[in-house]
Amino acid sequence: DTAVSQTPKYLVTQMGNDKSIKCEQNLGHDTMYWYKQDSKKFLKIMFSYNNKELIINETVPNRFSPKSPDKAHLNLHINSLELGDSAVYFCASSQGARNTEAFFGQGTRLTVV
């Protein structure tokens, strides 16, 4: 009965590889997000989709490409991974895209070696 679930929970990979993180929510929400939390715990938004349409695209390297096949899913693909990509990536969802609570997934800890 997990509300927002991400896979995998841990991901260790070598520099230069391509990897994907998947996210699914069963809350019936229409808006989904990707956040990055760095080693200093700083949370920063990367992308947001509302009804499968991209509505927030922060200054993120174009090696990061989100994809939303439907309202319940938002995946993140990362090409040519770099050491600086190591972080915890959180998926989140909300009902509506203005001033509403965001429900976070459990996070994916990505380690690039």
In the three-class reduction of DSSP (H, G, I as helix; E, B as strand; rest coil), residue 111 is classed as strand
Contacting other proteins (CB under 8 A), which of 40, 70, 83, 84?
40
Give 54-87 as a DSSP string.
EEEE-S--TTEEEEEEETTEEEEEE-S--GGG-E
Strand partners, 75: 67
Report 5-24 residues binding other proteins (CB under 8 A).
none
CA-based nearest residue to 36, from 92, 79, 103: 92
In the three-class reduction of DSSP (H, G, I as helix; E, B as strand; rest coil), residue 31 is classed as strand
Tokens 């993180």 — which residue? 21
Interacting stretch for other proteins, rule CB under 8 A, among 19-27, 49-57, 60-68, 72-80? 49-57
Contact in structure between 31 and 97 (CB atoms under 8 Å) = yes
Interacting stretch for other proteins, rule CB under 8 A, among 16-24, 48-56, 62-70, 72-80? 48-56
The distance of closest approach from Cβ of residue 80 to other proteins in the complex, given in angstroms and rounded to an integer, is: 27
Contacting other proteins (CB under 8 A), which of 14, 28, 42, 69?
42
Report 74-103 residues binding other proteins (CB under 8 A).
90, 94, 96-102
Q: Which residues of the shown chain bind other proteins in the complex (CB under 8 A)? A: 4, 31, 33, 40-45, 48, 50, 55-56, 90, 94, 96-102, 104-107
